[in-house]
Chain A
Amino acid sequence: MMAQWIPFLITISYMVIAVWLGFGAGKGRNMNKVEEWGVAGRSLGPLVMYLLVGAGGISAYTFMGAPGWAYSKGVPVLYVVVYLTFMGITAWYLGPKVWDLGVKYNHVTQGAAITHRYESPALGALASFVTSIGVLAYAVLQTTGSAYILNVMSHGKIPVWLGVILSLGVISIYLFKSGLRAIGITNAFQGGLMFVVSWAFGLWVVKQFTGGYSFGPVFERVRDEAPQFLTLPGNLGDMGFAFWTTSILISMVSVWQTHWIQWMGANTKKSIRTAATMLPTYYIVCIPMLVVGFIGIFVYPSLAQADTVAIQMAMDSMPVVIAGLLGAGTLAAAMSSSEPCIHGTALSYSKDIIQPIFKISDEKAGKMTRWLIFPIMGLIVAPISIMQPASLVYILLIGYGFIGQAFPALVGMFFWPRATKQGAFWGLAAGFVVTLVFSVWFPHPLGIHAGIWGLFVNLPIFFIVSLLTEPVSKKTVEEFFPDMVDDLYEEVSETTTKPASI
C-alpha cells in the first residue's frame, strides 16, 4: 500500500529540493536591480551555462512527446536531436555577440537590442509582445505537463487545477526570490537529474524487454516486424526529407527571448562559447527515451495517447523508485522549460513595453520586474493551463511562427547595416501572415515547413523595403558595425561632397 506512494514522494522531494536550491541562489543579492534579477549580475560560468541552456532546451516533450513520436512515427523523431544540436551552433555564433552588445549598451532583452539597432522603441515593444505569445504558450504547455505528472504520480489525487497551482507556486517562490540565479541553479540540478533519469530509465526498460542492455534486439525486432518505423517518412508517412530539413532550419534560426536572456547571464563571452560548444553533447539525453518509445510499439500496440507511453510503462512495470525518478525527471524537464519563459516575459514586458511607455526610471522598473511574474502566472499561464483550450495548439503555432520570422531583424542586427525598421517590420508582418496561413489553414505546402514559407516572403520584403527607406543614423551603425563603418560611408561622402564642389 505504502509502496504505491513512493513515486509520488520522490516527485514531491524533487520539488522541495528545487525550492531549497532556487531560494538560496539569490542570497545576499539585491534582486530589485534588473541586472541581478534579470541576468544574474552576468555571473554564470560555463558549466552552469551548459546545464542552464541544455536543460532549458529539454522540455516535458523529451520525456513524453519524444517517446510518443518514436512510438507513433519512428525515426522522424530524430529531427529533434539534430535541431537541438544545431541550436548549439546558433548559440555559439550569436551568444558572444549578443553578450558583448548587452554589456556595452546595457541591454538585457532582445526587444532592447531591436529598439537600439532600429532606433525604434515601438518595434522593440512590438517584438517583445508578439514573441511573448509563443513563449507563454510554451510555458502553458509545460505547466500542463507538470500538472499531468503530478496527477499520474498521485494516482489522480491531485487534480489538474491543483497540479497547475502547485507547480507554478513552487516556481514562483524561487523565481521571485532569486531570478535568473534561481533558474541557473535549478536548471543545473534539473539538467543533471534528467540526464541520470533518462539513462537509468531507458536502460532499465531495455533490460526488462530484452534481458540485456543493448539496444540491438529492440531495433532488430522493429526491423523485422515494423520496418517503416526505421526510415523516413516514418510510420505515419508525414516526415519527408523536405519537412525534416525545413523543420531543422526554422528551429535553428528561431532565437527565443529566453535564450537571449540566458546568454546575457554569462560571466564572460568565453563562457557562452564554451557552453555552446559542449551543448550538443547534452542532447544525448534524448536517445534512451526514444528507445523507450520504440519498445512501446510492442508493449502497447494500441495506446490511445502516444505521449503517455513512457509514463504508462513506468507505472505499469517499473520498480517504484524508477517510476518516481521518471516522474521527478519529467517534472524537472517541464519546470526547467517553463520558468525561463515566465522570467523572460516578465523582464521583457517590464523593460521593453512598460518602461518606455510610462517612462519610468531604471530603479522603479527593476523593483517592478519581479512582481510581474505573479500576474503573468496568475492571469495568463494558470488559467489557460487549467482550461486547456482547443486553440492552444494554434496559439503555439502562431507564437513559434513569429519567433522564426524575427530572424531577418537579427540579420539586420549582426550582418546587414542597411536594414531599416520599416524593412524589419513589413518583412516580419508578411512572414507572420504567411506562416499563420500555412500552419493553420494549408499546413506546410509541398512538405516544406510553414515558417520557411514565411521566410521566403519575409526576407525579400525585408531587403526591398530596407533599400527603399532611410537607414538608421551613422552613430547607431558605428555601434553595431564598428568594423564596417569606414567602408560603408566611403561612397556616400564622395557623392555628398561632389555637389558642393560644383
Chain B
Amino acid sequence: MKATFRTPKTYKGWIGLFSILIIVLLGSWPVIPLLNHETILFGMPILMVWSVILIFLTTGTLMALNKMGVNE
C-alpha cells in the first residue's frame, strides 16, 4: 500500500488550501510583529482592530470558498 497523502484534487481545492494558510499566517507570527505598536485606530489598539478584521476576513473567505464549491 502506498503512503500517499490526500491532497486537493482541483485547482479550486488548492486555492482553498492556500487561502486558509494565508489567513492563519495573517493571525500569527509573520504578520503580528508588524502590527505590534501602540497605534490606536478607530478608537481601538491596532491589534484589536486586526483581530476584528480577521474575524470578517475569515468569514468572507469561507463564504467565497463555499460559493466556489470548495470542501463540498
A and B interact physically: yes
Using CB atoms and an 8 Å cutoff, list the residues of chain A in contact with chain B: 75, 78, 81-82, 85-86, 88-89, 92-93, 96, 214-216, 219-220, 222-223, 227, 230-232, 241-242, 244-245, 248-249, 252, 273-274, 276-281, 283-284, 287, 290, 414-418, 467, 471, 477, 481, 483-484, 487-492
Contact B38 A231, beta carbon cutoff 8 Å = yes
CB distance from A481 to the nearest CB of B (A): 7
C-alpha gap A290/B33 in the complex (Å): 21
Closest 3 CB pairs of A and B: A216-B43, A245-B28, A418-B3
Q: What chain B residues lie within 8 Å of A491 (beta carbons)? A: 2
Given contacts A92-B71, A484-B6, contact A249 B28 (CB under 8 A): yes
Contact B3 A467, beta carbon cutoff 8 Å = yes
Q: What chain A residues lie within 8 Å of B27 (beta carbons)? A: 82, 85-86, 248
C-alpha gap A92/B1 in the complex (Å): 30
Contact B55 A219, beta carbon cutoff 8 Å = no
Question: Nearest CB to that of A228 among chain B residues?
Answer: B38
Which of the residues B23, B43, B45, B63 comes within 8 Å of A277, measured between beta carbons?
B63
Contact B32 A232, beta carbon cutoff 8 Å = yes
Contact B55 A92, beta carbon cutoff 8 Å = no
Q: What chain A residues lie within 8 Å of B59 (beta carbons)? A: 88, 277-281
Q: What chain A residues lie within 8 Å of B48 (beta carbons)? A: 75, 78, 287, 290
Does B15 interact with chain A (Cβ within 8 Å)?
no
State the interface size on chain B (CB cutoff 8 A).
35
Which of the residues A252, A278, A280, A416 comes within 8 Å of B24, measured between beta carbons?
A252
Contact A89 B63, beta carbon cutoff 8 Å = no
C-alpha gap A82/B56 in the complex (Å): 11
Q: What chain B residues lie within 8 Å of A231 (beta carbons)? A: 36-38, 47
Contact B5 A492, beta carbon cutoff 8 Å = no
CB distance from B61 to the nearest CB of A (A): 9
Contact B2 A490, beta carbon cutoff 8 Å = yes
Q: A86-B27, A230-B40 are in contact. List 7 more A-B contacts (CB 8 A).
A: A219-B43, A219-B44, A244-B29, A280-B58, A415-B6, A418-B1, A418-B2
Type the 1/0 row for B55-70, where 1 means its CB is closer than 8 Å to any CB of A. 1101100110010000
Q: What chain B residues lie within 8 Å of A274 (beta carbons)? A: 66
Question: Nearest CB to that of A213 among chain B residues?
Answer: B43
C-alpha gap A169/B17 in the complex (Å): 45
